[in-house]
Structure 1
Amino acid sequence: MTPVNATHDPARHSWVESANRPDTDFPIQNLPFGAFERNGEPRAGVAIGAHVVDLRALRDSGLLAAGSDAAIACEAAGDGTLNRLMAMPPRYPGALRAALSDLLKSDSPQRASVQQHVQALLPRIDEVALRLPCEVGDYTDFLTSLHHTERHGRYKGLADPLPAAFKSLPIAYHGRASSLRVSGGEVRRPHGQYRDANGQVVFGPAPALDFELEVAAWIGEGNALTQPIAIDAAHAHIFGYSLLNDWSAKSIQWFEQVLGPFLGKSFHSSVSPWIVTAEALAPFRKAPVPRAKDDPPPMPHLHGALDQQQGSLHLDLYAHLSTNGLREAGAQPVRITHTHLDNLYWTFAQMVAHHTSNGCNLRTGDLLGSGTISGAADEARACITELTDAGRHPLRLPNGETRTALEDGDEIVLSARATKPGAVSIGFGECRGRIAPALVDRQAEIAA
């Protein structure tokens, strides 16, 4: 685990004024990494307040000491993606983050020199096009909330709503990396097969579209094939975290699911554009919630002393819903979910250790989804299916609208906040997507 250091100092402020606002996701204590397009060229960057540090411009500025770990790390991000940087030992991105913190702090000795390059170095985030932060080779989605899993088992009428293996290992399926998209834009309603209200199997636009609020871990250094990652070494392989919306066509998923989710999930998954590094989250480390006394203890390869001490985070997570009706009335999005990372039964280190326990090799840029982070409380239900008790009790909005599933024009905005007394609160940025109508001629095209 990266220790708390000078970059986390709550007394540190930035000369970038927007980074000092109490509501910013990106104070100087955060400095998350991402990728964007500027003047038609891919760039890698670091968010600070309302701005992004262009790492290619930083490399060319001469502000970093030649040959230093920070300069080497900055050079690795020069191709506009983060894969090379993420693959490096943690000391290199850590050195770059520390150097940026020193350059951007309000009492920086280099402040005047940095501000000479400010136009090239610090475009506004809203003036650039954000991209996926790295190239994703593989995407694995876990099922690690007991409450989410148990509720869905009940909705399906299972005698035992929890799968037999749930408390023995982190259950997962292999997702589709090709349809991962950065936050923003449209999420097209998919076509697929499902049972209609009369029990007939039909093909058409999915009627039961849902969001799922998740956290994603990004793999930095990978492991060699046949070489498992020990649980207390797993955190060193996680570069950082983002928000993930695992959009789900529940009508398709529940009909097709035998080996696991397929077309009900693979049409679109949204990820927030910024990777909040494991180092930035060091002040917010905490012990995971203890298991119930009658639960089986984890196998030795899934139990680590360090992970049991610091394997979770003080992290609140939110989902807001906006509809056409709310926007036409000038109303703000409505908060429909407030949950916490404590609602995961398994830690991310346990996910990594389990994933590699058979010798499977993880690679730089692989994405691991936590699964829907639902809790026991009503407000902690992290998808529409749970919020409506599988459609039995429609979700009621302040303007009188109701929902049992997402409708065309509905927009989901996910957010998160790490908070702890004595530390500066940091955020993750938004993970946003708006439902677009299904392509009306798609069924005819497929039939033809």
Structure 2
Amino acid sequence: MTSLDQTHDAALRSWVKGADGHPDFPIQNLPLGVFSPADGVMRPGIAIGDQILDLTALLGTGLLQGEEALAAEAAGGTALNSLLALGAGPRRALRARLSELLRAGSPERDRVAPLLHDAATCTLHLPAAIGDYTDFYVGIHHAENIGKQFRPDNPLLPNYKHVPIGYHGRASSIRPSGTPVRRPRGQSKAPDAAEPSFGPSRRLDLELELGVWIGPGNELGTPIPIGVAPAHIAGYCLLNDWSARDIQAWEYQPLGPFLAKNFASTISPWIVTPEALAPFRIAQAARPAGDPTPLPYLLDESDQSGGAFDLRLDVFLVTPRLREAGHPPHRISASNTRHMYWTMAQMVAHHTSGGCNLQPGDLLGTGTISGPERDACGSLVEATLGGKEPIRLASGEERRFLEDGDEIILRARGIREGFATIGFGECRAVILGAVA
């Protein structure tokens, strides 16, 4: 696991205006991304406060040497896959050097300052070319809440506590935060209808998840052991894996989600590194008495003692009427990554256990992360009990599922006394009407 060092010091200050105390991107974070400034040319960047540091331009100054220069050179271009493939060593070296260059009192301030861009004037892009995407189902409270709607007496299927459940999703429709989402059309069947119909989804929903970016991959046929799985994780992002619940209910048997999920997924555009999140690692929650012990290929002492995270997760809803009336976003959920039944390392180990090869830039989703309380549901189908109990808003509106014009905002932050708060940036999107 990543250890703490001087880059995590809460007393560390930056000369970049607005970085100190920034809710997401203080100097202790330094996430990786791809952006384009006013000239429209895509390039790698580092978020610091409300600014973005041009990594390619920084490489050209000669201020980076050795592994840190190797990392910056690999990041060049329009995607960070080559940097992710290098693994932890060069990535850590780059982060450490950036911390030196951006901290208060740096002798190189005058050489670095011209390389900063105002984030508000830049466009953010997908940080890597996503070759493959797999969505897991490791939020146990979500699994129980959904299961109770169909099987009140036995909400979890027999395999849930033995194996990290997942399915392969559609990588081509993943988009960065801010990209609108078009309401999907599909086939569904109302419970009282004699025949199915085709049309816009009437039960459009969100899913609060974390995304896991794969770094170094593995050869086809060669599993990644649980003990080294963390070395294959390059970072994390927020993920909203939108779901059309009415389409899903009709199509998911026998092969699982298809059109209900493949129309869009939204991610936050910054890769928050394992190094930045080191202060928020915690032990995996002890399994309740009677739960099975994971099979040996999924069990590692180090992963159990520090493979989980304590990250606050929030979901907000903004409707056109809320916005027009000047009301703040309505908080739908306040959850936490503590509620994951399986760790990220267990997801990686299981994914490759049959010989599947992962590649740099592949993305894994955790599945919806809900808490045990009603106000910690990571989806509307849970929060409204399948649409039976609507959410009431300050504007006088009600929501059972999402309507056209609604906007969903996801946020994630690590908050721990004695350390700087680390955030992911927003993951947000507005719902547009279905294609006529």
Q: Distance in 1 between matches of 2:57 and 2:118?
A: 14
Q: Distance in 2 between matches of 1:257 and 1:271?
A: 24
**Paired position in structure 1 for 2:163:** 169
What's the CA shift string for 1:168-223, capped at 9, x where partnerless?
A: 01000000000000111311001001113632411000000000000010000001
**Paired position in structure 1 for 2:216:** 221
**Paired position in structure 2 for 1:359:** 355
**Paired position in structure 1 for 2:43:** 43
Structure 2 residues not aligned, in runs of 5+? none
**Paired position in structure 2 for 1:25:** 24
Secondary structure (helix, strand or coil) at the match of 2:246 reads: helix
> Where does 1:391-410 land on structure 2 (aligned, <5 Å)?
391-410=387-406
Is residue 146 from structure 1 mapped to residue 144 from structure 2 by the alignment?
A: no
Of 54, 58, 83 in structure 1, the residue corresponding to residue 81 of structure 2 is 83
Q: Distance in 2 between matches of 1:109 and 1:322?
A: 45
Structure 1 residues not aligned, in runs of 5+? 441-448
Is residue 100 from structure 1 mapped to residue 98 from structure 2 by the alignment?
A: yes
Q: Distance in 2 between matches of 1:82 and 1:112?
A: 27
Indicate if the aligned counterparts of 1:18 and 1:24 stay in contact, CA closer than 8 A: no
Q: Which runs of 4+ in 1 moved over 6 A?
A: none
Shift of 1:431: 0.2
Q: Which amino acid aligns with 2:100?
A: D
Q: Which amino acid aligns with 1:109?
A: P
Percent identical among aligned pairs is 52
Q: Which amino acid aligns with 1:309?
A: S
Secondary structure (helix, strand or coil) at the match of 1:196 reads: coil
Of 273, 287, 291 in structure 2, the residue corresponding to residue 291 of structure 1 is 287
Of 245, 248, 251 in structure 2, the residue corresponding to residue 253 of structure 1 is 248
> Where does 1:180-195 land on structure 2 (aligned, <5 Å)?
180-195=174-189
**Paired position in structure 2 for 1:443:** none
Identify the range of structure 1 (193-202 vs 203-212) with the bigger mean alpha-carbon deviation.
193-202
Q: Which amino acid aligns with 1:87?
A: A
Q: Distance in 2 between matches of 1:146 and 1:96?
A: 36
Q: Distance in 1 between matches of 2:272 and 2:157?
A: 32
Q: Which amino acid aligns with 1:207?
A: R
Secondary structure (helix, strand or coil) at the match of 1:164 reads: coil
Is residue 238 from structure 1 mapped to residue 233 from structure 2 by the alignment?
A: yes
Per the normalisation by structure 1, the TM-score is: 0.95
Indicate if the aligned counterparts of 1:63 and 1:114 stay in contact, CA closer than 8 A: no
**Paired position in structure 2 for 1:124:** 118
Q: Distance in 2 between matches of 1:340 and 1:151?
A: 16
Q: Distance in 2 between matches of 1:288 and 1:101?
A: 30
Shift of 1:311: 0.7
Q: Distance in 1 between matches of 2:425 and 2:112?
A: 25
Identify the range of structure 1 (405-414 vs 147-156) with the bigger mean alpha-carbon deviation.
147-156
Indicate if the aligned counterparts of 1:212 and 1:383 stay in contact, CA closer than 8 A: yes
Shift of 1:23: 4.2
Shift of 1:283: 1.1
Q: Which amino acid aligns with 1:51?
A: Q
**Paired position in structure 2 for 1:444:** none
> Where does 1:238-387 land on structure 2 (aligned, <5 Å)?
238-258=233-253, 259-387=255-383
Q: Which amino acid aligns with 2:370?
A: S
Indicate if the aligned counterparts of 2:54 and 2:117 stay in contact, CA closer than 8 A: yes
Is residue 9 from structure 1 mapped to residue 9 from structure 2 by the alignment?
A: yes
Q: Which amino acid aligns with 2:28?
A: Q
Q: Distance in 2 between matches of 1:140 and 1:154?
A: 25
Secondary structure (helix, strand or coil) at the match of 1:276 reads: coil
**Paired position in structure 2 for 1:431:** 427
Matched positions, count: 433
What's the CA shift string for 1:96-131, capped at 9, x where partnerless?
A: 11111100000212223323xx1xx11011111100
Q: Which amino acid aligns with 1:387?
A: A
Q: Distance in 2 between matches of 1:58 and 1:111?
A: 12
Shift of 1:60: 1.4
Per the normalisation by structure 2, the TM-score is: 0.97
Indicate if the aligned counterparts of 1:210 and 1:384 stay in contact, CA closer than 8 A: yes
